[in-house]
Amino acid sequence: MTKNDIVTKISEETGIIKEDVYAVVQKTLDEIIDALANGKNIEIRGFGVFEVAVRKARIGRNPNKPTETFQIPERKVVKFKAGKKMKEAVLNS
Protein backbone atom coordinates (compact mmCIF):
# COMPACT_ATOMS: atom_id res chain seq x y z
CA MET A 1 0.00 0.00 0.00
CA THR A 2 1.35 3.41 -0.95
CA LYS A 3 0.74 6.87 0.43
CA ASN A 4 -1.53 7.55 -2.54
CA ASP A 5 -3.58 4.42 -1.71
CA ILE A 6 -4.01 5.65 1.86
CA VAL A 7 -5.06 9.12 0.67
CA THR A 8 -7.56 7.65 -1.79
CA LYS A 9 -9.11 5.35 0.81
CA ILE A 10 -9.44 8.12 3.42
CA SER A 11 -10.89 10.47 0.80
CA GLU A 12 -13.49 7.90 -0.28
CA GLU A 13 -14.49 7.03 3.28
CA THR A 14 -14.74 10.61 4.57
CA GLY A 15 -15.81 12.54 1.49
CA ILE A 16 -12.93 14.99 1.91
CA ILE A 17 -11.17 15.93 -1.34
CA LYS A 18 -7.90 14.11 -2.06
CA GLU A 19 -5.78 17.27 -2.04
CA ASP A 20 -6.82 18.10 1.54
CA VAL A 21 -6.30 14.51 2.72
CA TYR A 22 -2.90 14.41 1.01
CA ALA A 23 -1.84 17.65 2.73
CA VAL A 24 -2.79 16.29 6.17
CA VAL A 25 -1.09 12.92 5.59
CA GLN A 26 2.07 14.60 4.26
CA LYS A 27 2.19 17.10 7.16
CA THR A 28 1.79 14.21 9.64
CA LEU A 29 4.69 12.32 8.07
CA ASP A 30 6.81 15.49 7.96
CA GLU A 31 6.21 16.10 11.69
CA ILE A 32 7.21 12.50 12.49
CA ILE A 33 10.41 12.91 10.48
CA ASP A 34 11.24 16.26 12.12
CA ALA A 35 10.69 14.86 15.62
CA LEU A 36 12.89 11.82 14.92
CA ALA A 37 15.59 14.04 13.37
CA ASN A 38 15.60 16.02 16.64
CA GLY A 39 16.05 12.85 18.70
CA LYS A 40 12.46 12.64 20.00
CA ASN A 41 10.41 9.44 20.17
CA ILE A 42 6.98 9.23 18.56
CA GLU A 43 4.31 7.19 20.36
CA ILE A 44 1.01 6.52 18.63
CA ARG A 45 -1.20 4.50 20.98
CA GLY A 46 -2.38 1.24 19.46
CA PHE A 47 -0.07 1.69 16.48
CA GLY A 48 3.46 1.72 17.87
CA VAL A 49 6.53 3.67 18.85
CA PHE A 50 9.21 5.14 16.59
CA GLU A 51 12.48 5.80 18.37
CA VAL A 52 16.01 6.84 17.51
CA ALA A 53 18.72 4.43 18.63
CA VAL A 54 22.48 4.51 18.23
CA ARG A 55 24.06 1.53 16.53
CA LYS A 56 27.55 0.94 17.91
CA ALA A 57 30.66 1.09 15.75
CA ARG A 58 31.78 -2.35 14.62
CA ILE A 59 34.13 -4.24 12.35
CA GLY A 60 32.76 -5.26 8.94
CA ARG A 61 34.00 -7.87 6.51
CA ASN A 62 33.85 -7.99 2.73
CA PRO A 63 31.88 -11.19 1.93
CA ASN A 64 33.86 -11.63 -1.31
CA LYS A 65 37.20 -11.27 0.51
CA PRO A 66 36.64 -12.38 4.15
CA THR A 67 40.19 -11.48 5.13
CA GLU A 68 39.51 -7.80 4.44
CA THR A 69 38.01 -5.90 7.36
CA PHE A 70 36.92 -2.31 7.73
CA GLN A 71 35.49 -0.08 10.43
CA ILE A 72 31.75 0.65 10.31
CA PRO A 73 31.17 3.92 12.20
CA GLU A 74 28.59 4.50 14.92
CA ARG A 75 25.31 5.81 13.51
CA LYS A 76 21.75 6.64 14.42
CA VAL A 77 18.90 4.43 13.21
CA VAL A 78 15.12 4.57 13.52
CA LYS A 79 13.51 1.62 15.27
CA PHE A 80 9.82 0.76 15.32
CA LYS A 81 8.06 -1.25 17.99
CA ALA A 82 4.53 -2.31 17.06
CA GLY A 83 1.70 -1.50 19.48
CA LYS A 84 -0.64 -4.05 21.02
CA LYS A 85 -3.53 -3.34 18.66
CA MET A 86 -1.28 -3.74 15.59
CA LYS A 87 0.29 -6.95 16.89
CA GLU A 88 -3.14 -8.47 17.54
CA ALA A 89 -4.46 -7.43 14.10
CA VAL A 90 -1.46 -8.97 12.33
CA LEU A 91 -1.60 -12.18 14.38
CA ASN A 92 -5.31 -12.65 13.72
CA SER A 93 -5.18 -11.97 9.97
Q: Over 90: is that where the pLDDT of 93 sits?
A: no
Q: What would the DSSP string read from start to end of 52-64?
A: EEEEPPEEEEETT
* Spans of all domains in the chain: 1-40, 44-93
Backbone φ and ψ of 16, nearest 5°: -85, 140
How is domain 44-93 classified at the CATH fold level? HU Protein; Chain A (4.10.520)
Share the mean pLDDT of the chain: 94
Distance in angstroms (rounded) separating the CA atoms of residues 4 and 28? 14
Binning pLDDT at 50, 70 and 90, where does residue 33 land?
Answer: very high
- Convert the pLDDT of each residue in 3-23 to its tens digit: 999 999 999 999 999 999 999
